Amino acid sequence: MENLADLFEAARPKMIKKEEIDKIGDKKVYLVDGDYIRNYMDVNFTNFGHHWTFDFIPKNDLWIDRNSTHSERPFFIDHMIWERRLMKDYKVSYKKALEYADRKERDERGSSGGTHKNVLPKLSADVQKKYWKKVGDAKVYLVNGKKVREIYYIDFTGGGHGYVYGFIPKDEIWIEKEVHEEKEKKLDLLHEIAERDHMKGGMNYSKAHDLATKAENLERVAERKEEP
């Protein structure tokens, strides 16, 4: 089989469309096409990123997915500034920088979204769940990602399931409804189904996530081959 990285590189257009929305000192904030980045550059790009989390982003750029919720963008910008500074100037690891930026972002939001995943479900919490479909033994719901980040877990992005997040029942998969493209929702769901199945069978999260990411990447490559 062809090398997956080579397939990505061969199919990748050479230009990235960016819309500048802010400037902070020597840093510029851009809205970018997150679907494009996940399809052609890195499937792990979520709501935002900077050079010290994704090396293909120029050093003075801060990128935000254009499909993100407008009201959350100020939080994403501040998060990146804190995280970037710790990683760039103080050589702090990504894990530690993320923990600090999460705390600061949570304080800014004035929310209770935990820094850990195994919090108990708050049955009264309104994350605007809307039933989508059933896949195997799992019920799939569309949820308000902003609410989930504020109430439960600040780093929730795209989707999740109960074998990773303690606030999601084990027989449910949640997909963020703010993802505008139906194709992206289906790819997020593909990832969560694969990851959940592996973990349900006893596999640890790290290995299950890697295998689910590989399955998602292969599906993205297959879809590009079918494009006219």
Amino acid at 205: Y
pLDDT for the residue numbered 42: 92
Residue 116 lies in a domain: no
Nearest alpha-carbon partner for 28 in 69, 57, 54: 57
Total number of domains constituting the chain: 2
Q: Are residues 140 and 104 in the same domain?
A: no
Structure tokens belonging to residue 39:
């399809």
pLDDT for the residue numbered 9: 59
Write out pLDDT tens, residues 29-48: 999 999 999 988 899 999 99
Q: Whole domain around residue 195: which residue ranges?
A: 130-226
Q: Are residues 82 and 159 in the same domain?
A: no
Place of tokens 């504020």: 150
Place of tokens 């990683």: 87
Residue 204 lies in a domain: yes
Q: Are residues 220 and 134 in the same domain?
A: yes
pTM assigned to the model: 0.86
Residue 217 lies in a domain: yes
Residue 114 lies in a domain: no
pLDDT for the residue numbered 180: 74
Q: Which of 77, 109, 141 is the last residue of a domain?
A: 109
Residue 120 lies in a domain: no
Q: Which residues of the chain have pLDDT under 70?
A: 1-15, 112, 114-124, 227-228
For 145-183, give one letter per residue: b (16+ CB within 10 A) or e: bbbbbbbbbbbbbbbbbbbbbbbbeeebbbbbbbbeeee
Residue 18 lies in a domain: yes
Write out pLDDT tens, residues 150-192: 888 999 999 999 999 999 999 999 999 988 789 999 999 999 9
pLDDT for the residue numbered 1: 43
Residue 61 lies in a domain: yes
Q: Are residues 97 and 12 in the same domain?
A: yes
Q: Are residues 105 and 12 in the same domain?
A: yes
